[in-house]
């Protein structure tokens, strides 16, 4: 800070800027509220369809979110500007006071240019006017004034430069849109940047020189700031991609640094989580330095890291840090493309196993979260994709190998003659890949890779992170998602052992299936002209499926307790809300399936019954062996899923369908528990306990009988609730509940017939 710049500073322009930003913040508060209560709420309650459901609704939701981010960024900038102005104004007063006190001792402060200044006598005694008394001063007075002015200028410089630094960093976070970085004042923002630089400096040390105390400091700092955009970006870019990989590889390699592994082994899981979360936050930044970081990290993917060029590949190190956090979609896409290119090189386009990514005893243990060693980078990468639905969708639909380069053969024309076929990433990973053995402790029992594959597929097909349920903000399915679901259904139908031999994947496949119930019901109607599309409305893109494949999928998913529960409970909720929807007398004419509501109810009940019946046959398959234990797992899973999705639109009932029943329509739209389905979910599943006996045959018969009974009971209650909600006493007088019960029974029984005719090879004879 130049002496004269502070001494003669005019704060009028800065005052005006602070005032303008304050006004903007106040306006954005109103706009943010209008966007949330108006735009977003209207978008979530509107009956979107087609491209509007895929694009417009999501755009409106994101736009509403941008207003919130705009307010956050404007508020942060206002606070930083205000803090800086107030500090500089005070430093100006301090400087004026120091100069004034100096003048009383005949000292003056003069700028010398280039930020320098000098302290000299104001009036030399020899040149003073006759009779003028000149104050005396000592050398110490000169030194004291010099030091005081220097300290003021240094503080003013720090205030000004730190403000410039953090304001530039905030502006650099997003090329388009706004940053989510929020700070209460300039000092907290500057402190975050400083902390990032300090920790990056420690982490950049040679891995062999890192001490347990260094690890503690890094871990604590990352845990505190991992969600801070400025901190994360500055930490990642200051450390750089090469040093990031060398840091994680080195502290996990006993050959490089035995002390950390010996003394902080119990802390490395937390460090992995915190480092991954920090890097994920950093990748959301659009700064030039972070853009370079992402590109260089991908370039390092197939390069050896550590051990003087003999260490693991960059992909093997970095992928383990992707297990936590929401990484930037474009970074994940580009990373995945290069990762699969490397996989092709190491496997001869998938023709043989990837031995380079199999764990050997001398390899460092790169993963500290879970049981696998982390040697297979696809395991960690797929876990990262499970948190990033859009990137996951693109990744699985991307071509793995072309027809010309493919070593894989299939019956291409149905006459038994095989030919080479292209495969997508999904087909290669789900159907063909030989997953490397990652753990020399658990051997073939480690299933983390395939389980993470299932989680990534869940995100890729549903549009929300794996392990979560859809909400009113979840966009309708798009073409990429439905295309992938079609591939999953076809693959399981072609060879259901792809799932039954890896049953731990079925909970995710069950959740996926539960969110495509409208598409599945459409397929089961065998309606070639599409008239039943109105019966099972779909917002956005609809999956094109055939009845036989859907039957095989439900039969297969039904063989796992968690998969069965996800679809069965969602099926009941979907059926109840669908009846609610079609019995609404205010339903627009272009949405009405049939002017005969009884026929609509009959078809809904029949379709729901067939879904439940097919699942029940899958359950029979599972309990044909260890009956009692397996049966109890089913009932426990059903109870858990019922509790998870009770109430709340969008949770397991088919994304994109609006339910507008009165008098509980408002409650449904708000996502609370007073829905047509939630009011009777409890009554249906209240006695969810295992009822298996010792004998598989009687168990299967009892389960079938119980399934028919329960399905009929629930269907009857659902139509009663929907009719009551809409005041349709005429339908009740005409025994609509009994007709629905009968239709549900017919659908349930049809599941047995259809399975025997469509997929007899999937049934066990006992």
DSSP result, 35-59: IIIIIIHHHHHS---HHIIIIIHHH
Task: Name the more confident of 601 and 173.
Answer: 601
Q: Over 60: is that where the pLDDT of 352 sits?
A: yes
Mean pLDDT (whole number) for 254-272: 93
Higher pLDDT, 77 or 335: 335
How far apart, in Å, are the Cα atoms of 494 and each of 460, 508, 584? 21, 19, 40
Q: What is the separation of C-alpha 570 from the centre of its chain, rounded to a whole number of angstroms?
A: 22
Exposure letters 694-713 (e unless 16+ CB within 10 A, then b): eebeebbebbbeebbebbbe
CA 62 to chain CA centroid, Å, is: 15
Which residues lie below 8 Å from residue 475, measured CB to CB, with a gap of 6+? Answer: 53, 54, 57, 58, 61, 463, 540, 655
731 falls in which pLDDT band (50, 70, 90)?
A: confident
Q: Is a pLDDT exceeding 90 seen at residue 46?
A: no
Residue 512, SS3? helix
- pLDDT at position 53: 42
Domain limits, the chain: 3-125+135-172, 198-393, 470-703+748-762
The 10s digit of each residue's pLDDT in 86-100 is: 887 888 888 888 888
* Measured distance CA(571)–CA(605) in Å, rounded: 11
Contact 397, 336 (CB under 8 A): no
Q: How confident is the model at residue 213 (pLDDT cuts 50, 70, 90)?
A: very high
Top pLDDT among 275 and 686 is at: 275
Query: For residue 218, what is the enclosing H or E element?
Result: helix 212-225
**C-alpha separations of 11 from 16, 19, 182 in Å:** 8, 12, 25
pLDDT above 80 (res 455): yes
Q: What was the pLDDT predicted at 319? A: 98
Q: Residue 436 pLDDT more than 90?
A: no
Mean pLDDT of the chain, nearest integer: 80
Average confidence (pLDDT) over 756-760: 77
Cα–Cα distance between 554 and 614 in angstroms, integer?
Answer: 6
Q: pLDDT by residue (tens digit) across 530-581?
A: 888 889 988 888 999 999 999 999 999 999 989 988 898 888 888 888 888 8
Smallest Cα–Cα separation from 616: which of 568, 571, 688?
A: 568
pTM value is 0.77
User: How much is the pLDDT for 488?
Assistant: 97
Query: How far is residue 238 from each of residues 232, 249, 290, 293, 588, measured CA to CA in Å?
Result: 10, 18, 10, 10, 59
The predicted pLDDT at position 64 comes to 53
Decide if 146 contacts 153 (C-beta within 8 A).
Answer: no
∠ CA 163-164-170 to the nearest 5 degrees? Answer: 90
3-state secondary structure of 562: helix
**Contact (Cβ atoms closer than 8 angstroms) between residue 385 and residue 336:** yes
Of 64-73, 159-168, 189-198, 217-226, the least confident: 64-73
Return phi, psi of residue 121, to 5°: -70, 140
Residue 137 has pLDDT above 80, yes or no: no
């Amino acid at each position: 800070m130049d002496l004269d710049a502070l001494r003669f500073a005019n704060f009028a322009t800065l005052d005006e800027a602070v005032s303008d930003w304050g006004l903007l913040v106040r306006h954005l508060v109103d706009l943010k509220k209008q966007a949330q209560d108006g735009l977003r709420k209207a978008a979530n309650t509107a009956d979107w369809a087609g491209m509007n459901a895929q694009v417009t609704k999501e755009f409106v939701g994101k736009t509403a979110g941008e207003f919130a981010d705009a307010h956050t960024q404007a508020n942060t900038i206002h606070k930083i500007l205000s803090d800086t102005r107030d500090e500089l104004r005070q430093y100006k007063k301090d400087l004026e006071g120091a100069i004034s006190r100096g003048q009383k001792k005949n000292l003056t402060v003069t700028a010398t240019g280039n930020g320098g200044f000098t302290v000299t006598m104001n009036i030399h005694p020899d040149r003073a006017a006759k009779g003028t008394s000149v104050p005396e001063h000592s050398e110490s007075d000169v030194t004291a004034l010099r030091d005081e002015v220097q300290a003021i200028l240094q503080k003013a410089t720090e205030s000004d430069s730190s403000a410039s630094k953090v304001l530039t960093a905030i502006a650099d976070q997003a090329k388009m849109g706004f940053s989510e970085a929020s700070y209460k004042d300039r000092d907290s923002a500057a402190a975050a940047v400083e902390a990032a630089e300090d920790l990056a400096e420690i982490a950049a040390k040679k891995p062999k020189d890192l001490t347990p105390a260094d690890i503690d400091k890094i871990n604590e700092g990352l845990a505190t700031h991992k969600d801070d955009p400025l901190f994360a970006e500055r930490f990642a870019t200051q450390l750089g991609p090469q040093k990031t990989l060398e840091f994680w590889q080195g502290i996990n390699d006993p050959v490089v640094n035995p002390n950390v592994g010996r003394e902080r082994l119990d802390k490395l899981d937390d460090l992995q989580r915190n480092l991954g979360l920090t890097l994920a936050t950093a990748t959301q930044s659009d700064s030039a330095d972070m853009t370079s970081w992402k590109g260089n990290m991908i370039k390092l993917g197939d390069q050896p890291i550590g051990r003087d060029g003999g260490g693991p590949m960059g992909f093997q190190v970095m992928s383990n840090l992707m297990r936590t956090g929401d990484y930037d979609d474009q970074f994940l896409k580009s990373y995945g493309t290069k990762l699969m290119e490397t996989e092709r090189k190491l496997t001869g386009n998938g023709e043989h196993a990837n031995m380079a990514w199999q764990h050997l005893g001398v390899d460092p243990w790169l993963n500290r979260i879970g049981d696998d060693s982390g040697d297979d980078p696809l395991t960690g990468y797929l876990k990262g994709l499970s948190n990033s639905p859009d990137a996951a969708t693109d990744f699985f639909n991307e071509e793995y190998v072309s027809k010309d380069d493919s070593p894989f053969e299939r019956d291409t024309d149905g006459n038994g003659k095989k030919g080479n076929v292209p495969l997508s990433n999904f087909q290669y990973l789900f159907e063909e890949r030989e997953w490397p053995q990652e753990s020399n402790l658990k051997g073939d029992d480690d299933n983390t890779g395939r389980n993470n594959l299932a989680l990534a597929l869940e995100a890729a097909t549903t549009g929300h992170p794996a392990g979560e349920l859809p909400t009113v903000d979840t966009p309708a399915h798009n073409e990429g998602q439905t295309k992938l679901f079609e591939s999953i259904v076809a693959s399981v139908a072609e060879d259901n052992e792809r799932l039954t031999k890896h049953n731990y994947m079925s909970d995710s496949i069950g959740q996926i299936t539960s969110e495509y119930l409208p598409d599945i019901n459409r397929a089961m109607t065998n309606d070639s002209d599409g008239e039943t599309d109105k019966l099972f409305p779909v917002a956005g893109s609809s999956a094109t499926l055939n009845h036989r494949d859907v039957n095989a999928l439900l039969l297969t998913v039904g063989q796992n307790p968690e998969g069965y529960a996800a679809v069965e409970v969602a099926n009941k909720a979907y059926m109840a809300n669908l009846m609610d929807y079609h019995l609404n007398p205010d339903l627009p004419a272009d949405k009405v399936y049939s002017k005969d509501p009884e026929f609509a109810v009959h078809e809904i009940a029949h379709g729901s019954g067939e879904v439940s019946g097919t699942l029940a046959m899958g359950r029979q398959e599972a309990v044909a062996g260890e009956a009692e234990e397996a049966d109890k797992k089913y009932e426990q899973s059903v109870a858990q899923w019922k509790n998870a999705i009770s109430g709340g639109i969008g949770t397991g009932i088919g994304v994109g369908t609006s339910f507008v029943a009165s008098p509980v329509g408002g409650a449904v739209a708000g996502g609370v528990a007073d829905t047509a389905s939630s009011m009777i979910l409890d009554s249906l599943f209240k006695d969810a306990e295992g009822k298996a006996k010792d004998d598989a045959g009687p168990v299967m018969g009892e389960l079938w009988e119980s399934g028919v009974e329960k399905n009929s009971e629930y269907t009857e209650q659902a139509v009663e609730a929907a009719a009551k909600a809409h005041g349709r006493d005429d339908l009740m007088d005409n025994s609509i509940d009994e007709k629905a019960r009968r239709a549900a029974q017919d659908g349930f029984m049809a599941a047995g017939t259809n399975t025997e005719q469509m997929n007899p090879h999937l049934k066990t004879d006992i």
